[in-house]
C-alpha cells in the first residue's frame, strides 16, 4: 500500500489535498493522470449502464437539496455512527470499529446502551491507552447554511448519497421520458460524510464520489432483479481487471442492514488493510418513494400503462464508490517485475536493481481502456530535427483518436520505464530507419516486445491493440 501511495504522488495520480499548507485530514486531490483514470472509469460506467441500455436514463442533481428530503429519507434521524472520545487526548473514534478491533462481532448492530456496557465489560481503552467517554450518536451529514443568515431555518446539508435526487425526480422522469417499469435512473457525483475516522488513503474519505443506480421494479420481481444486478456488478469488476479471487460477496446480517434495506450484499475487496466494502447492492423496497410521497404530499405513484394499475415501485440499488474503485484498480495494476536480459530489449535501461542483481521495472498493468495515456511517441534523439519533426507528425495524427503523449526527454530506455510506470500500453519510437522506410518501432508495455510497423498501418495496429 505504501508503495502505491508513494507512486501515486510521484507519478502525478493523487496528491495530498492542500499539500503546500500541510494537507487537510485525509483529503486528496487527483492530479493530471489520476483525473484521466477517474474520468475513464466514470465514462465507461456511464456508457455501459446508461448509454448502451434502453432501460436506463441518467441525471445530474444538485448537491444541496431541500432539507426535507433528508428528513423523509431518514438521514436526519438515523444516519449516525457511535462516537467515543479519548478522555485525555480528546481524539474521537467510531466505537463500533474499536469494538470490532477488540473481537466483538456485529458491533454495528448494537444499541448505544449495549455498546456502553461492552466498553465496561471489556475495560475498553482508546488506541492511546486512555479512558473513553460514554458513547453518543453522531450524525454524519455536513451542515451548512443557505444564504447570509446562519440560523436553523436556513440549515441545509451536503448530500451524503447521490441516491435521493433520483427518488425525488422519479415523477419528473416518468413524465418526461418513455421509460416504463422495470427501468433505472443513474447518477454519478460527489457525496459528503463527516466520517469520525478516515484513513487508508482514498478508502474512507469525507468527500468522495459515487456512481449509483436506482432500478425500479414490481415488488414481486425484486429477487430476480437483485440476482441480475449482482451479476452485472461482478461483470463490471471483471472489466476493471480486478482478480476474481480478491472479491467476496458479504450477505449483510439482518441486524446490520441500513434503515431502508431489506437485503444488502456488500461486495468486498481484499485491500492490503483487510477485506472491506468496495460496492453495495441493496433492496430498498418502496421505502424512499413512499416516504417522499408522504412527506411532500405529491402523488408519485407509477401507472402501469397496460393494466392502469397505480403503485409505488420497489427499488434495487447497485452502488459503486469511485475512489474505492480507483484504489482497487491501482493495487491490482501495480507490478514490480524483475527484468532479465532475455526479456529486456537491448535499448532498455533500468534504474533499480533487485536483491538478486536483476533489474526491476514498475509497471502499471491497467486494462488498456483504463490507462490514462494510451500511446507515447518518441523521437530516438531529441537533437535530430528530422526525427523530432517526424515524431511530432505521428503524435499529432495519433492524438486525434487516442490520449497520447509526446516525449523526447532522456534516454529511450528511461522513457520506456516512465511509461511503464503510468501504464501506457504502446510506445512508438521514430528512429533513423523511419526516415528511410516509413516504419516505426512499436513496443508493448506488458511483453516489452518490439516490432516494426509501417506508418500507414499504425492506426489499424493501434486499434487492434487498444480495442482488444
Ligand atoms: N445510496 C447507498 C449508499 O450510499 P453506502 O454503502 O453508504 O450506500 C455506497 O455507500 C458506496 O460509496 C460504498 O460502497 C463505497 O464504495 C462508497 N463510500 C461510502 N462511504 C465512503 C467514504 N467515506 N469514502 C469513500 N467511499 C465511500
pLDDT tens readout for residues 237-289: 999 999 999 999 999 999 889 888 999 999 999 999 999 999 999 999 999 99
**CB under 8 Å to 322, separation ≥6 — which residues?**
38, 41, 42, 188, 208, 209, 210, 211
Angle subtended at Cα 387 by Cα 383 and Cα 391, rounded to the nearest 5 degrees: 120
pLDDT score recorded for residue 339: 85
- Give the closest residue (by CA) to ligand 1 atom 21: 204
pLDDT score recorded for residue 6: 94
- Give the closest residue (by CA) to ligand 1 atom 4: 161
Q: Which atom of ligand 1 is nearest to the CA of 160?
A: 4
Buried b (16+ CB within 10 A) or exposed e, 279-297: bbbbbbbbbbbbbbbeeee
C-alpha cell at 71: 428528513
Q: How far is the CA of 212 from the centre of ligand 1 (A)?
A: 10
Q: Which atom of ligand 1 is nearest to the CA of 163?
A: 1
Q: Are strands 14-16 and 314-321 parallel, antiparallel or unpaired?
A: unpaired
Residues 427, 444: Cα–Cα separation, whole Å: 7
The torsion angle over the Cα atoms of residues 428, 430, 431 and 432, rounded to 10 degrees, is: 150
Q: Does residue 202 have its Cβ closer than 6 Å to ligand 1?
A: no
Q: How far is the CA of 321 from the centre of ligand 1 (A)?
A: 6
Neighbours of 330 (CB within 10 A): 23
Q: Which helix (H) or strand (E) holds 279?
A: strand 274-285
Mutation test residue for ligand 1: of 280, 281, 318, the one with most atoms within 8 Å of CB: 280
Buried b (16+ CB within 10 A) or exposed e, 12-31: bbbebbeeeeeeeebebebe
Mutation test residue for ligand 1: of 73, 208, 278, 320, the one with most atoms within 8 Å of CB: 208
Residues 380, 391: Cα–Cα separation, whole Å: 9
Q: Backbone phi, then psi, for 84, in 5-degree steps?
A: -130, 160
Query: Does the global pTM surpass 0.85?
Result: yes
Mutation test residue for ligand 1: of 45, 157, 191, the one with most atoms within 8 Å of CB: 191
Q: How far is the CA of 84 from the centre of ligand 1 (A)?
A: 22
Three-class DSSP category at 68: helix
**Does the bond joining 182 to the residue before it have cis omega, within 30 degrees of 0?**
yes
57-104 pLDDT per residue, tens:
999 999 999 999 999 999 999 999 999 999 999 999 999 999 999 999
Q: How far is the CA of 268 from the centre of ligand 1 (A)?
A: 12
439-453 pLDDT per residue, tens:
999 999 999 999 999
Neighbours of 82 (CB within 10 A): 23
- Read out DSSP for 186-243? EEEEEEE---SS-BTTTTB-SEEEEEEEEEEE-GGGHHHHHHHHHHHHHHHHHHTT--
Residues 22, 99: Cα–Cα separation, whole Å: 32
pLDDT score recorded for residue 347: 44
- Burial bucket for residue 378 (CB in 10 Å: 0-12, 13-18, 19+): buried
Q: Which atom of ligand 1 is nearest to the CA of 193?
A: 23
Q: Which atom of ligand 1 is nearest to the CA of 277?
A: 14
Please, which pLDDT band fits residue 356 given cuts at 50, 70 and 90?
low
Residues 18, 150: Cα–Cα separation, whole Å: 27
pLDDT score recorded for residue 265: 98
Mutation test residue for ligand 1: of 38, 267, 319, the one with most atoms within 8 Å of CB: 319
C-alpha cell at 385: 530535427
Amino acid at each position: 500500500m505504501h508503495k502505491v501511495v508513494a507512486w501515486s504522488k510521484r507519478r502525478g495520480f493523487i496528491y495530498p489535498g492542500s499539500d503546500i499548507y500541510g494537507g487537510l485530514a485525509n483529503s486528496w486531490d487527483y492530479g493530471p493522470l489520476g483525473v484521466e483514470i477517474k474520468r475513464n472509469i466514470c465514462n465507461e460506467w456511464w456508457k455501459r449502464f446508461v448509454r448502451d441500455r434502453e432501460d436506463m436514463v441518467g441525471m445530474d442533481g444538485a448537491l444541496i437539496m431541500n432539507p426535507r428530503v433528508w428528513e423523509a429519507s431518514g438521514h436526519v434521524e438515523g444516519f449516525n455512527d457511535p462516537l467515543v472520545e479519548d478522555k485525555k487526548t480528546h481524539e474521537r473514534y467510531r466505537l463500533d470499529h474499536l469494538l470490532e478491533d477488540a473481537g466483538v462481532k456485529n458491533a454495528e448492530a448494537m444499541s448505544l446502551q449495549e455498546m456502553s456496557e461492552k466498553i465496561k465489560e471489556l475495560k475498553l481503552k482508546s488506541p492511546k491507552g486512555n479512558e473513553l467517554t460514554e458513547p453518543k450518536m453522531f450524525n454524519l451529514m455536513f451542515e451548512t447554511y443557505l444564504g447570509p443568515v446562519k440560523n436553523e431555518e436556513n440549515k441545509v446539508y451536503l448530500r451524503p448519497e447521490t441516491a435521493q435526487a433520483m427518488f425525488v425526480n422519479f415523477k419528473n422522469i416518468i413524465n418526461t421520458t418513455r421509460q416504463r417499469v422495470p427501468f433505472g435512473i443513474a447518477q454519478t457525483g460527489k457525496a459528503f460524510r463527516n466520517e469520525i475516522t478516515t484513513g487508508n488513503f482514498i478508502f474512507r474519505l469525507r468527500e468522495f464520489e459515487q456512481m449509483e443506480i436506482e432500478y425500479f421494479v414490481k415488488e414481486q420481481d425484486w429477487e430476480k432483479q437483485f440476482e441480475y444486478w449482482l451479476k452485472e456488478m461482478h461483470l463490471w469488476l471483471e472489466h476493471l481487471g480486478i482478480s476474481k479471487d480478491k472479491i467476496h460477496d458479504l450477505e449483510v446480517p439482518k441486524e446490520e442492514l441500513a434503515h431502508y434495506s431489506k437485503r444488502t450484499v456488500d461486495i468486498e475487496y481484499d485491500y492490503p488493510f483487510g477485506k472491506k466494502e468496495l460496492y453495495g447492492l441493496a433492496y430498498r423496497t418502496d421505502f424512499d418513494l413512499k416516504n417522499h410521497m408522504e412527506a411532500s404530499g405529491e402523488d408519485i405513484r407509477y401507472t402501469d400503462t397496460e393494466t392502469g394499475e397505480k403503485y409505488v415501485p420497489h427499488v434495487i440499488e447497485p452502488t459503486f464508490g469511485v475512489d474505492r474503485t480507483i484504489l482497487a484498480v491501482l493495487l491490482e495494476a501495480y507490478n514490480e517485475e524483475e527484468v532479465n536480459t532475455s526479456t529486456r530489449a537491448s535499448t532498455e535501461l533500468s534504474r533499480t536493481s533487485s536483491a538478486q542483481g536483476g533489474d526491476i521495472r514498475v509497471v502499471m498493468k491497467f486494462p488498456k481502456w483504463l490507462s490514462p495515456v494510451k500511446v507515447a511517441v518518441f523521437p530516438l534523439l531529441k537533437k535530430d530535427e528530422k526525427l523530432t519533426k517526424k515524431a511530432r507528425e505521428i503524435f499529432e495524427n495519433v492524438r486525434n483518436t487516442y490520449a497520447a503523449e509526446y516525449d523526447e526527454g532522456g534516454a529511450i530506455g528511461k522513457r520506456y520505464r516512465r511509461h511503464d510506470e503510468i501504464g501506457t500500453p504502446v510506445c512508438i519510437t521514430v528512429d533513423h530507419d523511419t526516415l528511410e522506410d516509413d516504419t516505426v518501432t512499436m513496443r508493448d508495455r506488458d511483453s516489452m516486445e518490439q516490432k516494426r510497423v509501417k506508418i500507414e498501418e499504425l492506426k489499424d495496429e493501434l486499434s487492434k491493440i487498444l480495442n482488444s
